[in-house]
Amino acid sequence: MDIWLVHGLLGCVAFFLVWPLGIVKLWAKKSRWPIQHWAIQSTGLLILMSTAALGLLNSGSLHHPHQVLGLGVSSMALFQMILGHANSLKSRKTTTYINLAHAILGFSTILLGWLTILAGFCLASLDSTSFIVIGLLSAIEVLALVAGSVVIRWRAQSTSQLDGVGKEADGSDSRLYTLAEDENDDEQDGAAYKDETTPTQQSAGTMHEKSPV
């Protein structure tokens, strides 16, 4: 198989399949979704690095925008993974900014990757059909990712508002308690119960002492 065909196929798999799948995985807020997201994006990074390595090893020089864009998008993807790792280590306030930068850089990397693929088609002198197919795929994925993000955000806001109404109606607090907090609450409830029952027991004891035998 032609080495340049493998190079192009690997790049398309990384930017049109693996990384968009990693973004979609973020929409499923399951207990193991961070690990799955990290695994998918790491796979995409390995595929991209293999793509870049094939291109560099078989190119005599950097003479085309496709090659420059390829190096740029590879660097962005690597920095993206570093930000994702740092996002899980920093404090809550710092994590907010890192998470925002991580998200913006992630979408930018995918968009630049699509542009790099189009530049690669120019370098390979492919016909216009290839450009049309890639353009349609890019447009469909952009619309799907944006629409999915908007829907997920709208559902999260709607759920938050419903939770707020429910708390106001029954006076309950929907926050999560740890086991230690439950034990403390039980101890406080027990102490309060003892305080309430002690005067009654003392009164009963006094009346018993005063009553004639």
pLDDT 10s per residue in the chain (213 long)? 588 889 999 999 999 989 888 888 777 666 667 788 888 999 999 999 999 999 988 887 788 899 999 999 999 999 988 888 877 665 556 667 888 888 889 889 999 999 999 899 888 888 778 778 888 888 888 888 777 777 777 776 777 666 665 555 444 443 333 333 344 444 454 555 455 555 545 554 554 445 454
Do residues 76 and 115 make contact, with C-beta atoms less than 8 angstroms apart?
no
Sequence-ordered alpha helix ranges (H) in the chain: 3-13, 19-25, 33-57, 65-87, 92-123, 128-170, 179-210
User: What number of other Cβ atoms are within 10 A of residue 5's Cβ?
Assistant: 10
Do residues 110 and 20 make contact, with C-beta atoms less than 8 angstroms apart?
yes
Please tell me the pTM assigned to this model. Answer: 0.65
> From 2.60.40.10, 3.30.1310.10, 1.20.120.1770, 3.40.50.300, which CATH number describes the 3-127 domain?
1.20.120.1770
Do residues 40 and 18 make contact, with C-beta atoms less than 8 angstroms apart?
yes
Distance from C-alpha of 99 to C-alpha of 105, rounded to nearest angstrom: 10
